[in-house]
Amino acid sequence: MSDIKEKLKEMLVKRLKLKMTAQDIKDDVPLFGEGGLGLDSIDALELVVGLQKEFNVVINDKSVAEKVLVSVNSIVGFIEEK
Amino acid sequence: MKNNPLDSLPHSYPFRFLDKIIELSDKRGVAIKNVTMNEEFFQGHFKENPIMPGVLIIETMAQLAGLIMNCGKEENKIAYLAQVKNIKFKRPVIPGDQLKISAEIGQDFGSLASFSVAVHIDNNVAAEGELVMAVSKGT
């Protein structure tokens, strides 16, 4: 469980070139918008590619992406379901 | 020419960088651009040493990616270049070169999609990398 979380946070920092460390990302912080990590739609695309490559989960639908790409917790939940 | 896929390209003179479409679907495409000494940019880039600017090679690949994004869609929308990733230029493009441009869709969100793109000259890679294209919303 926490392994996935750590790996996911490190992937976020590395792939999206975030100016923070994996430890700085809170589990429930919103990925998009103000008050969150401030990701944009291009980051979302990169994130989907990363999830596919590193976690073997496929998101090929925008409505699924909107439900899953909310916070670290929601992504981990999606990975664990698969 | 009927149903020339190039007709749906929104770019016109002097900013059309595709001459011919070899293959086009909503997943991938191949196109040709013939580079001649008459290209305006060779006048200054560079006067004694004509080389096609790398940004225009990116534009060439982006125009093909935009066509792929619009392929099969009822309404033609302008596809904007949203991200340029890991583009490498492996050899200079000079007058007389025939560019074979190829693009293949990767992650596709409908209004936003990533593409693997490449330019070959005589079967050698001249440029390759990734582009992200976005189609305009509601217009």
Instruction: Give tens-digit pLDDT for B86-129.
Output: 999 999 999 999 999 999 999 888 889 999 999 999 999 999 99
Whether residue B45 lies in the annotated active site: yes
The answer to whether B114 touches B106, Cβ cutoff 8 Å, is yes
pLDDT cut 70: percent of chain A above it:
99
What span, in angstroms and rounded, lies between the C-alpha atoms of B52 and B54?
Answer: 6
Q: Which of B11, B28, B45, B77 is catalytic?
A: B45
Burial B15-30 (b: 16+ CB within 10 A, else e): eebbeebeebeeebbb
B67: amino acid identity, one letter: L
Rounded to an integer, the average pLDDT of B13-40 is: 97
Q: Are the C-beta atoms of B27 and B21 separated by less than 8 Å?
A: no
Q: Is the pLDDT of residue B139 over 60?
A: no
Say yes or no: ipTM exceeds 0.90: no
Host domain of residue A53? 2-81
Q: Domain spans of chain B?
A: 5-135
Does B86 lie at the interface with A, CB-CB under 8 angstroms?
Answer: no
Does a cis peptide bond (omega within 30 degrees of 0) precede residue B89?
Answer: no
CB contact under 8 A, A65 and B109: yes
Cα separation, A58 vs A64, in Å, equals 10
Residue A41 sits at the chain B interface (C-beta within 8 Å):
yes
Confidence of residue B55 (pLDDT cuts 50, 70, 90): very high
Say what the pLDDT of residue B137 is: 62
Pairs of CB atoms within 8 A across A/B: 25
CA distance B106 to chain A (A): 9
Mean pLDDT calculated for residue range A26-43: 92
Per-residue pLDDT, B87: 98
Q: pTM here?
A: 0.89
Mean pLDDT of B48-71: 97
CATH number of the domain at A52, please: 1.10.1200.10
The CATH homologous superfamily for domain B5-135 is: Hotdog Thioesterase (3.10.129.10)
Q: Cα distance from B111 to chain A (closest Cα, Å)?
A: 10
**DSSP symbols for B108-138:** E-SSEEEEEEEEEETTEEEEEEEEEEEEPS-
Q: What is the pLDDT of residue B2?
A: 58
Q: A56 CA to chain B: closest CA distance, Å?
A: 14
A3 versus B1: the higher-pLDDT residue is A3
Domain tally, chain A: 1
Residues A76, A5: Cα–Cα separation, whole Å: 6
Residue B25: pLDDT above 50? yes
Kind and range of the H or E run holding B21:
strand B20-24
